């Protein structure tokens, strides 16, 4: 009898596991997983996100360095996700950094036409599978002027995300605003800790001076992930029950 109960329990566990929802992340290098995480100072905020969620949800981080809303699709990366999508899943969509690249025709998108259309398509295709899309604006760059004022570098792209979220009634997190507040609160000097600022020899991973104000240190990635999680919780879309 005990053996039969064990088999039944295992069978039920497999069914529950098979029905486990997945949170998919699509975006660029600010979100992506980095190689050699134990030694590499650079981390994407999506890379550290799983520690803030329970084992009741699977997290697949498909964000990739250098990708835009255009190239992520043309390279077939979205197709792999779309084939897996099922009812009850979630997709965080965060592009913008590389859509700005005027010198790269494989990545650049006009914010008001191609970029908007790409976001709308991701949203519609996610919904068609019964999954929930979540739009996010890009995280800000550390870009203080000589007066200590944080200057925006993303121009129209975050505005378009807001417009799409409003028009299509999509769950939305304004990561640009949240990370701007974080950078400003830290100030021009302390905000360097959120990014990759090292003198030659200061960190064994870099043999030259490093001053990267776009990408994140582990501390920066965890700080951004915490902001994202805090903002996701009150959306009441079903994801909140998996947040620790």
Q: Report strand pairing: 90-94 vs 171-173.
A: unpaired
pLDDT (0 to 100) of residue 108: 98
Say yes or no to pLDDT of 11 above 80. Answer: no
Say yes or no to pLDDT of 212 above 70. Answer: yes
CA 80 to chain centre: 17
> Positive or negative, the Cα torsion across 38, 41, 46, 50?
positive
Contact partners, residue 188, CB within 8 Å, separation at least 6: 144, 148
Say yes or no to pLDDT of 1 above 50. Answer: no
Q: To the nearest whole percent, how much of the chain has pLDDT over 90?
A: 89
pLDDT in tens, 47-86: 999 999 999 999 999 999 999 999 999 999 999 999 999 9
Q: Name the residue among 223, 229, 228, 224 with its Cα closest to residue 244.
A: 229
Mean pLDDT within 210-232: 98
Q: How many CA atoms lie within 13 A of 150 on its CB side?
A: 21
- What's the 3-state SS for 65-129? CCCCCCHHHHCCHHHHHHHHCCCCCEEEEECCCCCCCCCCCCCCCCHHHHHHHHHHHHHHHHHHC
In which band, very low, low, confident or very high, does the pLDDT at 201 lie, cut at 50, 70 and 90?
confident
What is the C-alpha separation between 75 and 149, in angstroms, rounded? 38
What is the C-alpha separation between 28 and 32, in angstroms, rounded? 6
In which band, very low, low, confident or very high, does the pLDDT at 5 lie, cut at 50, 70 and 90?
low
Contact partners, residue 12, CB within 8 Å, separation at least 6: none
pLDDT (0 to 100) of residue 193: 98
As a whole number, the mean pLDDT across the chain is 94
What is the C-alpha separation between 90 and 147, in angstroms, rounded? 41
In which band, very low, low, confident or very high, does the pLDDT at 171 lie, cut at 50, 70 and 90?
very high
Say yes or no to pLDDT of 16 above 50. Answer: no
Strand order in the sheet with 58-61: 58-61, 22-27, 90-94, 132-136, 171-173
| The token pair that represents 242 in the structure block | 């998996």
pLDDT in tens, 79-134: 999 999 999 999 999 999 999 999 999 999 999 999 999 999 999 999 999 999 99
């Amino acid at each position: 009898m005990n053996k039969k109960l064990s088999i039944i329990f295992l069978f039920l566990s497999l069914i529950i596991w098979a029905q486990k929802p997945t949170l998919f992340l699509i975006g660029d290098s600010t979100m992506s997983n980095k190689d050699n995480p134990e030694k590499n100072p650079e981390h994407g905020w999506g890379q550290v996100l799983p520690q803030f969620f329970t084992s009741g949800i699977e997290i697949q981080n498909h964000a990739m360095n250098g990708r835009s809303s255009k190239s992520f699709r043309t390279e077939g990366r979205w197709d792999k996700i779309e084939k897996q999508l099922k009812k009850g899943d979630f997709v965080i969509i965060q592009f913008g950094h590389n859509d700005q690249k005027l010198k790269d025709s494989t990545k650049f998108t006009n914010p008001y036409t191609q970029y908007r259309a790409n976001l709308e398509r991701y949203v519609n295709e996610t919904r068609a599978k019964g999954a929930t899309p979540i739009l996010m604006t890009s995280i800000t760059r550390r870009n203080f002027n000589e007066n200590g004022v944080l200057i925006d570098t993303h121009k129209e792209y975050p505005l378009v995300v807001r417009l799409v979220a409003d028009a299509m009634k999509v769950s939305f997190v304004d990561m640009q605003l949240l990370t701007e507040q974080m950078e400003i609160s830290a100030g021009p000097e302390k905000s360097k800790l959120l990014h990759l600022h090292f003198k030659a020899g200061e960190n064994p991973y870099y043999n030259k001076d490093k001053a990267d104000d776009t990408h994140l240190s582990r501390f920066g990635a965890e700080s951004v992930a915490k902001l994202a999680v805090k903002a996701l919780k009150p959306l009441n879309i079903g994801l909140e029950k998996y947040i620790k």
